[in-house]
Chains A and B, each alone.
Chain A
């Protein structure tokens, strides 16, 4: 990168005196002329004008002032400190005085970033005269710092704020993400602060935690619907796995979800096999130790595993979960979070041979008889759980018949006493 910058820079540096002499010969700007008279050197630097606040007389807006007042000191500790003005603004070299100058494309040096950006949703919008960011929109104009520099808007701790300038701006969100399918995009930045990733960055100050560009890429930002997108279903497992290497291994190597995901299988409910975001969500990822995670994950699993979701709530585990407590066993406590396998798989945590060990995580004294508990027993399923069905039927019959008999008894009693009282013959009057 740096090698490439030096080429044009050297050429420009060599040409600079020539350029300015030429410029002076035809120029009539009094400031420049005065400066030349006052200085012994015939070399005029950009700083001479653009470093002097008086140069801004008549420039009202902050944008104009910022664009025009560019003292050398401003660039001194930027990533571009080795560059000269004309490296990016070759215009003045072509004549003086110079009108508004357009910078050369950053892609002149940053070729691959330019290429990535050009296919991004941001570039598409720019081409359509939208207000999506070009390079400067994210990196700044003159004060461009390295992504490792705390001051850079692209420094990990600053990225969410930087993206949020647009993605949390109600007017921009309203323009670009107004359709129902884009509901998630409307709250993405806002929700991010509450996620485990956002909390790690902002509350724990952990610069390594994932921020916007870690999942969405820095330059090739694409909507999740695009097959090329890093957050498309087809790619998102790899994207998460870039950081969560161990989880990715477990998921891909043996889990039923990983295998089905690889095969693009759909479950009986028509859902595709779950990728990371299906259980963890995209922008409301919470730490898997939090109560709200434990209670919420059952709902996530239940979206596909409908029947076992129902039967789970007929057990004590499920009842306490439904009451909003995290302590009793949730899906992942028995089936593991990422290594879930069918009970027929000898490596499954719920294979009969492994049940004692699995149950013993919470019930240390669990034994072979103890684990014959039906964790998803269903009293309405006469085929699979006859003993539960008949117990249920017997108890229900008992309840209904006893209550019906005495309920009618009470009702008749009330009617008879009311009749007697109307006739003036009742008791207790």
Chain B
């Protein structure tokens, strides 16, 4: 105990190898959670679905970044290939414009690091601004990483060097000189001996992901230092710049920037990437989990208005998903369609009961006849059958819904004025919130479609066909309805036939037909415009039935002469309206939509868009909200009761004051609330005074007030 003997009190550190415990501790914890939940079917389904989504996300991530990363890698390779360092004192450097979405950068740069490690060189250092407050730290950090990273990765390859360098260098000794010596002993001195496995000397890469937050003087010095070593060390620097290249130029004066050879790489802008993520992963019928219009709107708003962070968006979606599944076995139905039958069989009685209580079940119930109603409630097996049927219908609906959204997007995207929005997600939001066919925007769009030229229309239809074809190609193996064993009433079959795959095929046939007609009508229309009233030409052409029809139609209309194209167009547009009216019914009209769609926006909003001040204010002005106690029930938010916690009381009283608060008055008011009965010397009571002092101190700690030097006995309010 001698080591802890001290004149004054102190905190003594006994190193006991805690670190090792820490790393192993984490695992049991996650296992614990899993153990707790793994029995529950909802957790199993959630886990499976999230893994699914994560895989797809990673895939997409790789696809989007790979081009850019390969470019950078090739650029760096170009320099590593050059053995003679011909550029005297000039450091090759890559500037990666990453966009302002700070949270996403990390993943981007780890991907970059990995690929550099794999393809070019094991010597990579990544230095964040917070690790480099001065040149000393910066250099030490860089050198240490460059030397050490090696030993971690291919320690088997060249042990002798690593052991030497490891034992030799202490913290203060990581200087450029040390790096140079290390590099020379590693590569330059070895190569004359013709060690065959060490072919070209490796490049050293230094990555600085957040250029803007570096102190520019530090960076300037660092670049000068590095540039003086370029003759013997092949160093490449990669800057991650969030704003634009001029940030780089602004922070370097001429004599520094002339030491750099800058090549700029643009990364994807994050809104584009977000659209991609949403379009390809979440807004498809294959996604197991769907966001209702409002929830979706909230998330995209957070993205567009606040942070531009795709990572954040994905995490929010994950949160929504967790919230959706949590503790609710019913939600285990929200799974891949091919697992549906099994899951329904596994549902317990209580689960079925809670499904019966869903809001969207009621309209469905009302349509049924009396006997069916009773058996729906009494007979679980019958209910299971119905549930299965309805869920399948829901999947079919989803399939055609997303198809229609995309189709609508294909038709609307290049219509002037952007009435419905440019991207799929915007259209989705509109469609999911309300019945879009009823909106004026939709009607206007259809009208505008009615004015499109032949060429344009042919093009858009082709686009639409492409959409339909792709979705037909990657249709998931939905079990055709006919296979399902049941005795359904005829109505259902008819409705079912309208949605799902059959519906899509139908759309495709129609689109093809219209396309052919419009293409053909193209020539006809020009002839007609040439000879307005003479219908002879048309008659001479061996026309099909449509033309005949149109001719007759035309004959009936005397006042307004329409070309054939216009007629077809008109019919086409009305057909489109019909299709959309059928396919784009909003999700909340569907039976059991709650199972697949996440809808509880208000609940999640608090977690996703946290508002610390708001929470603090509620806690202080209405403590019952959090305490759930009966004693602090307030009539209005302004009223004051003596039973409130002291802190809340002080807070409420301080809100009534101006910028400066007189402590004495405050105390008076405080005492008056606490002890309304004895009036004279209540504020002198030591208990009151100490309670008051403590409340004030706490308020100061929370940052609402601070003591002011200007006026004695006054404190200043810091919030307004």
A and B part of one assembly = no
Residues on B lying within 8 angstroms of A by beta carbon are: none
